[in-house]
Amino acid sequence: MNVESGVDIGRVEVLPILPSLDFQQTRDFYAGRLGFEVSDKGGEYLVVRRGRLELHFWQCEDPTLCENSSVFFRLDAFHALFDDFRRRGVEPVSGFDADEDDVTRFHIRDPHGNVLLFGRRLRPLA
């Protein structure tokens, strides 16, 4: 329950919509390199899924939008995903590091510059 509003919103799914400069390159990277399944919606919209990870893409012509877009995934199977990406030949932009909130994380960039940040909280929030 949200303390401020008093409303229990239940389970929430957030599905980021990122820009893509070229859907074929996006398909190739997410399916071929990261192990996502592609659900092509046709036209100017693309969806990729890997388990409970889901990303949506819209067709974009401005590379600065991609270079300034990102998404953060917090997940339990953090180390397994990192290891799988490494087995697939995907080198993370950064290895494991921990921030001031004690979140261990790594990130990678897709071919257009979108940042995918993956993290796991080391201890519960107080």
| pLDDT tens digits, 39-95 | 877 778 999 999 989 999 999 999 999 999 999 998 888 888 888 998 999 977 666
CA–CA gap between residue 67 and residue 113 (Å, rounded): 4
> Which range of residues forms the domain containing residue 31?
17-121
- Please report whether residue 126 resides in a domain: no
Residue 3 lies in a domain: no
Could you tell me the pTM of the whole model?
0.81
Residues 83-107 have pLDDT tens digits of 899 899 997 766 665 555 556 788 9
Does 6 reside within a domain?
Answer: no
Distance between CA 15 and CA 22 in Å, rounded?
20
